[in-house]
A and B are shown apart, each in its own frame.
Chain A
Amino acid sequence: MSNVDLTQLPAGPTIKGKLSRDDVIMRMGMGVIALYLIVTLAFPLWAMLSKSFSTFKFDLAGYELQVSDEDGTYSGEILTPELLNSELQVLTDNDLIAGSDSRLGLTPFFPDFSFRSPVKYQIRNTTDVGRFLVGSELKTGTEWLELDSNTFRRVQMRPVKATGMGNFINYFSTPALFNSIKNSMLIAVISTVVTVTLAFWFAYALNRTCMRFKGFFRLVAMAPILVPSLLPGIALVYLFGNQGMIKELLFGASIYGPIGIVIGSVFFTFPHAFIIISTALAISDARLYEAAASLRSTPWRTFWTVTIPGARYGLISAAFVVFNLVITDFGLPKVIGGQFNVLAVDIYKQVIGQQNFEMGAVVSVVLVIPAIFAFAIDRLVQSKQVALLSARSVPYQPTPNAKTDGIFFTYCVLVALFIVGILGVCQFAALIKFWPYDLSFSLTNYDFDRMDGGGWGSYYNSIKLGLFTAVAGTCIVFFGAYLVEKTNGFRLGRALFQMFAMLPMAIPGMVLGLAYIFFFNNPSNPLNMIYGTMAILVICSVTHFYTVSHLTAVTALKQMDREFESVSASLKQPTMKLFSRVTVPVCLPSVLDISIYLFVNAMTTVSAVVFLYSPKTSLASIAVLNMDDAGDIAPAAAMGMMIFYTNALARIIHLIVSKGVLKRTQAWRAR
Chain B
Amino acid sequence: MKFGMKWLAPLAAGLFAAQTAAAETELTVYTAVEAEDLARYAETFNASNPDIKINWVRDSTGIITAKLLAERDNPQADVVWGLAATSLLLLKSEGMLEAYAPAGVEMLDPKFVDKGDVPSWVGMDAWVASVCYNTVEAEKNGLTPPTSWKDLTDPMYKGHLIMPNPNSSGTGFLDVSSWLQMFGEEEGWAYMDALHGNIARYTHSGSKPCKLAAAGEIPIGISFAFRGAKSKADGAPLEIIVPSEGVGWDMEATAIIAGTANQEAAQKLVDFSITKEAMEMYNVGYAVVAMPGVAKPVEHFPEGLLDAMIDNDFEFAANNRAAILKEWQSRYDGKSEPKN
Contacts and interface: CB of A to CB of B under 8 A. Distances in A.
Kindly name the residue among B58, B93, B168 whose own CB sees the greatest number of chain A CB atoms within 10 A: B93
23 contacts: A100-B69, A101-B322, A103-B320, A137-B93, A140-B95, A156-B319, A176-B329, A180-B334, A339-B335, A349-B204, A353-B204, A434-B215, A434-B235, A434-B236, A436-B215, A450-B36, A523-B71, A523-B74, A629-B208, A630-B211, A631-B207, A631-B214, A633-B215
B208 A630 contact: yes
Interface string A178-195: 011001000000000000
Contact of A436 (B71, B167, B216, B235): B216
A102 B326 CA distance: 10
B115 A135 contact: yes
B90 interface: yes
Contacts of B71: 523
A179 B204 CA distance: 19
Interface string B161-193: 000010111000000000000000000000000
Given A174-B330, A341-B334, A352-B168, A136 B207 contact: no
Contacts of B336: 257, 339-340
A136 B167 contact: no
A242 interface: yes
Nearest to A631: B211
Given A339-B334, A353-B62, A101 B202 contact: no
Nearest to B170: A353
B84 interface: no
User: 6 shortest A-B CB distances, which residue pairs?
Assistant: A631-B211, A353-B168, A631-B208, A138-B95, A176-B333, A355-B66
Nearest to A242: B217
Contacts of A355: 62, 65-66, 69
B318 to A, nearest CB: 6
A351 interface: yes
Given A629-B208, A631-B207, A631-B208, A349 B330 contact: no
Nearest to A138: B95
A435 interface: yes
Contacts of B335: 176, 339
Interface in A242-297: 242-243, 254, 256-257
Nearest to B70: A521
A438 B235 contact: yes
A631 B215 contact: yes
For this complex, into which size category does the number of interface residues on chain B fall?
35 or more
Interface in B272-293: none
A632 B66 CA distance: 25
Contacts of B90: 101
B94 interface: yes
B95 A242 contact: no
Given A101-B321, A133-B93, A338-B201, A349 B216 contact: no
A49 to B, nearest CB: 19
Contact of B315 (A135, A237, A614): A135
B204 A341 contact: no
Given A136-B319, A629-B205, A437 B334 contact: no
A99 interface: yes
Interface string B308-328: 000000010011111101100
B88 to A, nearest CB: 9
Interface string A603-631: 00000000000110000000000000111
B142 interface: no
B59 interface: yes
B212 interface: yes
B136 interface: yes
A243 B115 CA distance: 47
A241 B330 contact: no
A41 B159 CA distance: 45
B23 interface: no
Interface string A227-245: 0000000000100011100
Most buried by A among B59, B60, B204, B336: B204
Given A176-B330, A434-B235, A437-B236, A138 B94 contact: yes
Contacts of A57: none
Contact of B204 (A105, A357, A629, A632): A629
Contact of B215 (A98, A103, A135, A243): A243
Nearest to B71: A523
B167 A349 contact: yes
Contacts of B237: 437
Interface in B211-235: 211-212, 214-218, 234-235
A353 B167 contact: yes
Given A339-B334, A353-B204, A434-B235, A243 B319 contact: no
Contacts of A237: 217
Nearest to B136: A437
A244 B329 CA distance: 30
B168 A349 contact: yes
Contacts of A614: 59
Q: Which of B116, B168, B209, B218 has the most CB of A within 10 A?
A: B168
B53 interface: no
Most buried by A among B65, B215, B236: B215
